[in-house]
Amino acid sequence: MSDDANKYDLGPMGMSVEDALTDAPHAVVHALDTDGDGRVDVIAYDRDGDGVADKIVLDRDGDGVADAIMLDRDFNGSMDFVGIDEDQDGGIDAVAIDTDGDGTHETTYRSAG
């Protein structure tokens, strides 16, 4: 676990579940290999130490590169930020944000490129 990881860091993907539990940037609540290829494609992190996932990172296409992140930025139990790297270039291209804390993503941004 890294002490200098920021909340938007996607973290490593494509490692084994066992390695994810020791080499992740935050405490890991769950690390899953959903497609059975031996590599993690879903990691749920606990950034505030309460045992509840407040950051989830996905590798939806199984290529070993994270392409989506969900955050509970205010630690209230609801994911209020969703970011997706649609073109797999390492940058977030689409974002949905719950700006008022009601559980609905009111604001959506997409990159122009």
Confidence of residue 55 (pLDDT cuts 50, 70, 90): very high
Query: Is the pTM here over 0.75, yes or no?
Result: yes
In this prediction, residue 1 carries a pLDDT of 45
In this prediction, residue 23 carries a pLDDT of 77
- Tens of pLDDT along 68-92? 999 998 898 889 999 998 888 878 8
Please state the domain extents for the chain.
17-110
- Tens of pLDDT along 15-43? 888 888 887 778 889 999 988 989 999 99
| Percentage above 90 pLDDT, the chain | 30
Following DSSP, what letter does each residue of 2-30 receive, concatenated?
-TT--TT-----SS-HHHHHHHSSSEEEE
Task: Report CA 68 to chain centroid distance, whole Å.
Answer: 6
